[in-house]
Chains A and B, each alone.
Chain A
């Protein structure tokens, strides 16, 4: 057990035993190698199964909408999870008073596929430390530089620290460089229209419409998704180009001003489809047009969800231009 894991267990045990929360949402020891599972802890004894390391890959804020509004939830949050929680609170998906956020400054999520590509699947044990992931495989032990294993969204992370945690465990980290995410979007913008189309098609057309991206996303909580609606049906049903294009375009633009760039969609995708180039582009547009970034607090409505008489109407003939 690491020092941080011990601290998390202690806090979780305190919250549960003092009756401050009904459930603690965190991670449980894995069954399959490298894959700790999201878990709901309701009793102190079960906390011996709680784990925390860089392979805890899911955005736990995704589980917020599973619980009734009155449930008092203790939740482990890293930078992106805290921002997702904020965005959900803004959208009134849970009341902030019912949440106890256990914050952890995040050193980045390790992409298990990058690990397995180097070590093979037969992993007996591993240890995640500050700079190195040590993996004991069946035939060999590997000491891998952590930075090279991080998920691509984590490499571009701007806010690794939880912004509004109630309890903070671990040392605050320096902020990330906002230029990294911007440069990636700009390199996509710089492509010709034909190149952008080709890239979009190459990614979207591998889609098997399993909707893991949707289900892993904290912000995709609609009772009925547009693709599941059938009176009328909004998109073609199958894995045809028309069907997959529609899914990827509409999924992305429903995230405008809401996506916190956590990358959970790409981590869940079984076909390695890139999706954050679209949502990060929308994030950049929101910043450039409205100086708004999703999840920075739990009060401010996203620009497209609010209305004021001063709104820009530059898309409207005779509308206000700035």
Chain B
């Protein structure tokens, strides 16, 4: 069922939820927005064309997290309990919500049952906000996602100007919203038109069909050197990425704590071995790893694409590298250079 929520009633709703849940929403933080505990409607950033700068994966998988306490000399271990938190994450964009479901395949499938991830996932509702006007760096429609996709969401809101149309997608969401006015056929139709227009406005960034095979075939080709020549080797693209999940375990000996920190394949030290050998010695191999992981290896490991087209890596790359163009170039190289011989 689809319902209507007048915008002026949003504040009361968020306040009602706040009594029972920790409510997190995109709020102003300097020149950008960030998921923060809801304080006031004036602080909300729901009108922006795209998502928060820092990815909401951090709400489930914090960048630095203590996972174990120990007493070095006594050999005593003290586990840190994962504490379930009752939370509503309001205003998450479809690309970021889908990313959370992709990370489930890393932290909550098969033998991999990460207690910290599971505890946070179990008690958190994701209330999404669709994107009427996706940004120029967005490319979700090229990555099996879309500005109104519902993967991972408990409910999806569509902005109709004066009100939101709400699609309830889980039992828990029904309880959360309750007592809403059903949308009339005109409203339902205008939402459908709006959603279609938004999808169509996004040009296809690259041809996904056959891309994995093409990338696999150019693995050892020079094209990666060209694509990565200006790469700085910083961690922006991976740290801001909603699906990158690599981490490093570090013993902070002075604090008797084992910490899990985000790590990134873009750093030289990521693949540096104790012998001083580095199997990915230059930016060429590291750039290749980033693209191949998302567009080839994810298919092999999880049967899914590892990118949701959120566009953060494009938007914030300090040298203007654009993963869409990189994929197009690698793909063209496969078609032209390899087949020419």
Interface residues of A (CB under 8 A from B): 28, 30-33, 35-40, 57-58, 62-63, 113, 117, 120-123, 208-212, 214-216, 228, 236-240, 243, 267-268, 270-272
- Produce 1/0 per residue, B252-276, CB < 8 A to A: 1011000101001001110000000
A-facing residues in B168-202 (Cβ within 8 Å): none
Point out the residue from A30, A122, A214 that lies within 8 Å of B135, measured CB to CB. A122
Chain A nearest Cβ from B17, distance in angstroms: 27
**Complexed CA–CA distance, A236 and B259 (Å):** 10
* A121-B137 in contact (CB<8A): yes
A-B contact pairs, 18 of them (CB 8 A): A31-B320, A32-B322, A36-B320, A37-B230, A37-B320, A38-B319, A39-B230, A117-B31, A120-B49, A122-B49, A122-B135, A208-B63, A209-B235, A215-B232, A215-B233, A215-B318, A238-B63, A268-B232
**Complexed CA–CA distance, A243 and B235 (Å):** 16
* A238-B317 in contact (CB<8A): no
* A121-B259 in contact (CB<8A): no
**Complexed CA–CA distance, A186 and B173 (Å):** 55
- CB-defined contacts of A40 to chain B, threshold 8 Å: 229-230
A-facing residues in B43-69 (Cβ within 8 Å): 49-50, 53-54, 63-64
* B53-A271 in contact (CB<8A): yes
**Complexed CA–CA distance, A309 and B180 (Å):** 83
Point out the residue from A32, A62, A211, A272 that lies within 8 Å of B32, measured CB to CB. A272
Q: Is B218 an interface residue (CB 8 A)?
A: no
Point out the residue from A33, A58, A240 that lies within 8 Å of B318, measured CB to CB. A58
**Complexed CA–CA distance, A105 and B234 (Å):** 29
* B320-A32 in contact (CB<8A): yes
The verdict on A37 contacting B319 (CB below 8 Å), with A31-B325, A121-B136, A238-B63 known, is yes
Q: Which A-chain residue is minimally distant from B322 (CB atoms)?
A: A31
- CB-defined contacts of B255 to chain A, threshold 8 Å: 236
* A35-B317 in contact (CB<8A): yes
**Complexed CA–CA distance, A123 and B233 (Å):** 27
Q: Is B236 an interface residue (CB 8 A)?
A: yes
A-facing residues in B192-243 (Cβ within 8 Å): 229-230, 232-236, 239-240
Q: Which B-chain residue is minimally distant from A60 (CB atoms)?
A: B230
- CB-defined contacts of B236 to chain A, threshold 8 Å: 210, 212, 268, 270
Top 4 A-B pairs, shortest CB-CB distance: A238-B64, A35-B320, A210-B235, A31-B322
Q: Which of A208, A215, A268, A270 has the most CB of B within 10 A?
A: A270
Q: Is B161 an interface residue (CB 8 A)?
A: no
Chain B nearest Cβ from A301, distance in angstroms: 28
**Complexed CA–CA distance, A209 and B266 (Å):** 13
Q: Is B86 an interface residue (CB 8 A)?
A: no
* B234-A210 in contact (CB<8A): yes
* B49-A228 in contact (CB<8A): no
* A216-B321 in contact (CB<8A): no
